[in-house]
Amino acid sequence: MRKIAISDGDIQVSTRQLPPEGPEPKPITPAAKDWMLFLGFAATVLTMPIWLQPLGAAYPDLLQKFAIFGIFAIGFNILFGLTGYLSFGHAAFLGVGSYAAVWSFKLFTMNVLPAMLLGVLVAGLFALLIGFISLRRAGIYFSILTLAFAQMSYNLAYSVLTPITNGETGLQLRGNDPRYIDRAFGVESVGLPQTNLFGIDMSGYPGFYFCAAVLIVMFLIAMRIFRSPYGLKLRAIKSNQNRMAYTGFNTRPYLLGAFVISGMYAGIAGALLAVTDPLAGAERMQWTASGEVVLMTILGGAGTLIGPFLGATIIKYFENIFSALNEAELASAFSFLPPPLQEFAVTIVNPFVGEGWHLTLGVIFMVIVIFLPGGLVEGFRRIGRLFRGRSGKRTASQAEVQPAE
Amino acid sequence: MSTTDKTILTRRTLLRGTAAGATLLATPYFFTKGAYAQDFCNMPTGDTVTLGFNVPQTGAYADEGADELRAYQLAVKHLNGEGDGGMMNTMSPSALKGNGILGKKVAYVTGDTQTKSDAARASAKRMIEKDGAIMITGGSSSGVAIAVQGLCDEMGVIFMAGLTHSNDTTGKDKKRYGFRHFFNAYMSGQALGPILAEEFGSDRRAYHLTADYTWGWTQEESIKNATENLGWETVEAVRTPLGAGDFSQYITPVVNSGADVLILNHYGKDMVNSLTQAVQFGLREKQANGKNFEIVVPLFSRLMAQGAGEAIKGILGTTNWNWSLQDEASQAFVKSFGQEYGFPPSQAAHTCYVQTLLYANACETAGTFLPTEVISTLEGFEFDGMGNGPTLYRAEDHQCFKKVLVVRGNENPESQFDLLKVVKEVAREDVTYDPSIFGGELGPNVVKTC
């Protein structure tokens, strides 16, 4: 125990001297830079309804999805980005969080706070169980184990556990649900009740701002984890687990911790899905959903703070906006061209929108993985370096040296 | 170290407080104002009115979805006065004028439900929140239809269900803002029962294979009730996961179960697979209890029959509508659809087309888009000339009552579309039931502002 405490201190010192994001220009300290990043992030998220307007994405449901899947991806990144353990089953925690939240609405109250608490707790416990078993293996075996567990959960939710999950139909609210706490306070509603935060309805824009607030808090927590000695140890596990074990660390508790934390993030995201739309379906746990969060993280930039949120936004944008374009809309978009050219353009573009949106996403994903292995964040950094000119080059060469030590 | 931590902590609290405060302040005033300043959800203000067509474009029901979309586009054309008008000419009573709805041109947006409740709701929400759709229609899975119907009821947008056959859609889960033209599993049971007794006798032993979700459950229950009333015995009812693909492990036990009828409560690709495999297992050549072994598929569609090929021949089932019907309305629709796309419409296309026209007609009759008025107009609406004979939209549960077709897989098809032969048209009175048997509540008819 004591030995670990001492090395904690040692590593802490080294963080201060050599922040992993690369050396900074002198006047701005790393802490101050972090706060700027955080404030910038918060401002960006809260103003999404304004600056997404021209992109056609500024409507509550999609904005909520941006925030929720942002949380999901940020949490996933704590495991994948820091430790390098690729979980292919994180959707299971998302689903469990949703089910727990909907049950809280059904049994206790329509207030969202107990639902979120229950969602996080249940997802955390579930992650503890699955992580405890899966983390006995590393690499591809770990991925396969998590995938198997998630698929098992999906199938259980789909058929065996129908009394709890309502199978394919999905768990929904009913007028005659017990809602013991609400009933005890004499809250009655006409028709189906709405989820609320002490009286504020959690649909539409209020729902988005609630999700955004949670996202900002979750981002802050993730940032603190990234910058903490604990985060550094997780990185150490990624770079060389054996070496870390030789220095006297038992890596498993750290890994399990990271796994549970990211599972709880997924639980929060799942609970928020239920908050904004009180319905939980088994398809949330399907392996495609687990794969989606991996895509989001890699697309944005694994191991970076802002990357996963970027990736989540882009994927959800494609899923909701690109998939809805149809031939008629394309034709009107290309109406500035002469008719034969217009027809030609529509024919070319048509397979990439509407039901073909996966194709576009696949192309973008390939391009990014091949040319920007660090995701979009790396792209932004390269652009930033171009603008910074010579001083930027110096930073680049130093940053390249860093992993070798 | 401790001192730096302290300063960070206070700053964090401050920042978090500021962020939360800003959120709360911005929330009520900023963005809600413009969006909610209207009398009801998505009140059309310009010279167009937008309908939302939410159909499965990918997944197990994609074939049905594609056909539904074709029908919707055709309906929009006819409503806007283009094309030959199709069933607008045969519908009675009709207030439709062929100049859009209430003088506003009909526009539409489309979405992919992916046959998943989540995706379907997200898609419907986009249509309502972003595109300003005043009515959502579609489906092709009861699970999805029920999920979207619930959403539309919450938001105050009328939902005209497409292909959904579960009793729950207008039973346990019925909603004030939801309407269904398609028939349901209970009606299938009522229509099919007497024919089964006629064909197979009244001392049969039935084995059910059932798709494990709301539609499968209610159909199994309905068919079980109907056949047990005839004197049949139910040997066993086995639930199979949706989209199982391989049903051999479920079909093998049927052979030695002592049953002599197999009832497949499957739809779409599931039904194609399970029926084909059952036929491959030689069930239809088998003798059990001294009788010929029989297979029944309570819900049939032409698209499925096309998928199952040879296996479908001679199999009994029910359907909502078939393109071979000879009445004037059906003929007009088949002609119009055929001219547009080159092949006859499926029952899914038919019900979706009819639903769109019915909604438009209700708006015209009510003289407004106000959902409460449109709902009142549709409730108890009695109409004819839509391919199913005289039809009633019952006020108590928003279910349409009309005749039900009992069909048989055609032994000698004349064309690749001539796959189902109508055995009997069961009268509306014989399939009408008491709305209270399924429970559920419609909820209040009040205006909602999204």
Question: pLDDT tens across A347-378, in order?
Answer: 888 777 777 778 888 888 899 889 988 889 98
Position A124 pLDDT exceeds 90: yes
Nearest residue, CB atoms, B23 vs list A209, A324, A326: A209
Measured in angstroms, the CA of B447 and the nearest CA of chain A are apart by 12
Q: What is the SS3 assignment for B346?
A: coil
Other beta carbons within 10 angstroms of residue B304's beta carbon come to 26
- The alpha-helical segments, DSSP class H, found in A108-250 are 112-134, 139-155, 162-165, 180-184, 204-227, 229-239, 241-246
Position A393 pLDDT exceeds 80: no
- The alpha-helical segments, DSSP class H, found in B319-370 are 328-341, 347-366
Q: Is A209 on the interface with B (CB under 8 A)?
A: yes
pLDDT tens digits in sequence order for chain B, 450 residues long: 444 444 445 655 555 555 555 554 444 444 443 444 457 888 888 899 999 999 988 777 788 888 999 999 999 999 999 888 889 999 988 998 888 999 999 999 988 888 888 888 888 998 998 889 999 998 778 888 998 998 898 888 999 999 999 998 998 888 999 999 999 999 999 999 889 988 888 889 999 999 888 888 889 999 999 999 888 999 999 988 777 778 889 998 888 888 889 999 998 888 888 999 998 888 888 888 888 888 999 998 888 888 888 888 889 999 999 998 889 999 999 999 999 999 999 999 999 999 999 999 999 999 999 999 999 999 999 999 999 999 999 999 999 999 999 999 888 888 888 888 899 999 999 899 998 888 888 888 888 877
Partner-chain contact B443 A213, CB within 8 Å: no
Partner-chain contact A172 B154, CB within 8 Å: no
- Spatial CA neighbour of B406 closest among B438, B431, B437, B433: B431
Q: Is A175 on the interface with B (CB under 8 A)?
A: yes
Partner-chain contact B154 A192, CB within 8 Å: yes
Only one residue has tokens 């390249």, namely A400
Please report, for chain B, the start and end positions of each structural domain, with discontinuous segments joined by +: 48-183+323-401, 186-319
Q: Which is the CATH superfamily of the domain at B186-319? A: Response regulator (3.40.50.2300)
* CA B350 and chain centroid, separation: 11
pLDDT at B15: 54
Partner-chain contact B4 A49, CB within 8 Å: no
Nearest residue, CB atoms, A169 vs list B123, B146, B446: B146
Measured in angstroms, the CA of B27 and the nearest CA of chain A are apart by 6
pLDDT at A14: 42
Cα Rg, chain B, nearest whole Å = 25
Interface test mutation site (partner A, options B130, B174, B266, max chain A beta carbons within 10 A):
B130
- The alpha-helical segments, DSSP class H, found in A247-306 are 251-276, 287-300
| Inter-residue contact A106 to A173 (CB < 8 Å) | yes
Nearest residue, CB atoms, B19 vs list A42, A273, A354: A42
pLDDT at B441: 84
Chain A: residue whose CA lies nearest to B172: A174
Q: Which is the CATH superfamily of the domain at B48-183+323-401? A: Response regulator (3.40.50.2300)
* Selected residues 346-375 of chain A with any CB under 8 Å from a CB in chain B: 354-355
Measured in angstroms, the CA of B110 and the nearest CA of chain A are apart by 6
Q: What is the ipTM of this complex?
A: 0.75
Q: What is the mean pLDDT of residues A190-207?
A: 82
What is each CA distance from A140 to A143, A146, B67, B280, in whole angstroms? 5, 10, 43, 40
What is each CA distance from A224 to A44, A231, B4, in whole angstroms? 19, 8, 14
Of A124-133, A138-147, B38-47, B144-153, where does mean pLDDT reach its minimum?
Answer: B38-47
Other beta carbons within 10 angstroms of residue B327's beta carbon come to 15
Q: What is the mean pLDDT of residues A61-88?
A: 94
pLDDT at A27: 67
Q: What is the SS3 assignment for B401?
A: strand
d(CA A21, CA B65): 49
Partner-chain contact A213 B4, CB within 8 Å: no
| Inter-residue contact A107 to A177 (CB < 8 Å) | yes
Q: How many CB pairs under 8 A join A and B?
A: 138
Burial class (CB in 10 A: 0-12, 13-18, 19+), A318: middle
Cβ-based contacts of A155 with chain B (< 8 Å): 241
